[in-house]
Amino acid sequence: MFTNYNKCLEYLFGLERTGIKYDLKNIKTLLQYLGNPHKELKAIHIAGTNGKGTVASMINSFLIEKNFKTGLYISPHILDFRERILINGNLISKKFIIDFTNKILPLIEKISPSFFEVTTAMAFYYFKKNNVDYAVVECGLGGRLDSTNVLRPILSVITGISIDHTEYLGNTIEKIAYEKAGIIKKNIPLVTGFLNKKSGKIIRKKCKEKNCELIKSSRISLKNIFRLNDGFIFDICYNNCIMKNIKFPIIGDYHLQNISTTVASLIKISESENFHFNFAELKSALSNFPERSKFYGRFQVLTRNLTIVIDVSHNVEGLSNLQDNLRYLKYERLVIIFGIMKDKDIKRCIKEIEKLNSLVILTTPAYKRAICAEDMKKFVRNRNSFIIKNDIISAFKYAYTMTDKKDLILITGSFFLVSEFLKFFSEYYLMNTTEIKDL
């Protein structure tokens, strides 16, 4: 039995050694033991290759704005495990984590569930115990056999589909679309972001089979976009209604699709749940969503006297957005620090990085699924622009020594790499930048 939070957390993270369990057997056993809390949740269930965390966070913020008690379950976290499970923007308590782990400890020892299975059960149990009005739940991996797919939501959302997690989901758009389509439930409406022809065909077929209303986010039009160095301003047009001068506080044109998907989802939820969709509340929700959802690391500018940016673009589609994102900022020289997981399309990821014409420091995140920098370099064409540093601290120290206040350092790739960097950054860099070269 655990009495110490850090020991408890260490035990939970140790469950990752059991690997990714891509089926629903363990999660059903865990939830049954807990009284099936998921069956009593009004959930919004969100899948997609990219953008699902952003859409989940914006929906969460709007429901909070409407004064609903709202649970949010997203993954992975950046700095604190408790970022994964929030109610109205507040972290799950350490005491609840300890008590929950002790409660199901005998079952954990018996069935050996994965880390994600246990945390999913924890989130659903926490939301039920606290009587949330709505639970906004992000899929972890895929959809069909993801642990979150025991839910029967009031709305399903698929933000978009591209190649990722090929080891588990398949190596074609069609196979991945089939897995994502697994969240589609009978008679439950589905909102989609942008889908290409192949994935769209599969999603439409599944919706027809399940008698689901299919709502395309393209019905929401975003216009008059004015880009800033800390986000952008735009107008929303829908059914002859226009809301002007909405501020989105994060850099990146690709968020326009996420915003359209969010607005389409919220309009449908408001219709189904019979509450008023208010544009003024939407404006406030979009402005406040990063804090309410502990939303870090999406092309986030940390400093501007020597610009330092962190970004969790961990697959080909995400990395392809970097060139457009960088146009928001002014700088003379770009240095990129890059590290990623081995289940990604490494060759194409490196190709996207090479398009940025910068010095690239390849490094290895301190996580067992990470690809080592030496193996990444095998895919590099212009080796003169790439160097290797063994860890994020030595990579950043090297980048820092060769840049000045007119330059930009971009740390991008895995959530785990960005998390490592942020811990170092907050502990050392902000305390005394003049000493960083001597660390």
pLDDT in tens, 96-142: 999 999 999 999 999 999 999 999 999 999 999 999 999 999 999 87
CA distance 273 to 421: 42
**What Å distances lie between residue 192 and 116, 180, 304, CA to CA?**
25, 11, 36
Domain ranges of the chain: 5-217+252-292, 300-438
> Where do runs of H (alpha helix) occur along 49-142?
52-65, 94-111, 115-129
pLDDT at site 239: 84
Instruction: Give the HSE-up count for residue 371: Cα atoms under 13 Å, Cβ half-sphere.
Output: 23
Peptide bond connecting 76 to the previous residue in cis, omega within 30 degrees of 0? yes
pLDDT at site 166: 44
Strand partners, 137: 45, 73
Which residue type does 319 have?
L
Sheet bearing 386-388, strands edge to edge: 300-303, 307-311, 408-413, 334-339, 359-362, 386-388
Mean pLDDT of 380-403: 93
pLDDT at 303 over 60: yes
What's the pTM value of the predicted model, to 2 decimals?
A: 0.90
Under the banding of pLDDT at 50, 70 and 90, the label for residue 383 is confident
Which residues does 431 contact at the CB level (< 8 Å), separation at least 6?
none
SS3 436: helix
Domain 5-217+252-292 part of CATH 3.40.1190.10: yes
Domain 300-438 part of CATH 3.90.190.20: yes
Using a 10 angstrom Cβ sphere, with 0-12 exposed, 13-18 middle and 19 or more buried, the burial of residue 14 is: exposed
Region of poorest pLDDT, from 57-66, 196-205, 232-241, 426-435: 426-435
DSSP 48: -
Which residue type does 224 have?
N
How far apart, in Å, do the first and last CA atoms of the chain sit?
A: 39
Contact 302, 410 (CB under 8 A): no
pLDDT at site 436: 42
Better-predicted residue by pLDDT, 49 or 401: 401
Q: Which pLDDT tens digit goes with each residue over 223-273?
A: 999 999 889 999 999 888 898 999 999 999 889 999 999 999 999 999 999
Closest by Cα among 60, 119, 58, 42 to 84: 119
Mean pLDDT of 145-156: 96
| Same fold yes or no, 5-217+252-292 and 300-438 | no
SS3 114: coil
Please count the other Cβ atoms lying within 10 Å of the Cβ belonging to residue 437. 10
CA distance 189 to 182: 14
Q: Which pLDDT tens digit goes with each residue over 405-417?
A: 999 999 999 999 9
Under the banding of pLDDT at 50, 70 and 90, the label for residue 434 is very low
What's the residue count for the chain? Answer: 439
Contact 92, 126 (CB under 8 A): yes
Which range is most confident: 227-231, 284-288, 423-427? 284-288
pLDDT > 70 fraction of the chain, expressed in percent and rounded: 94
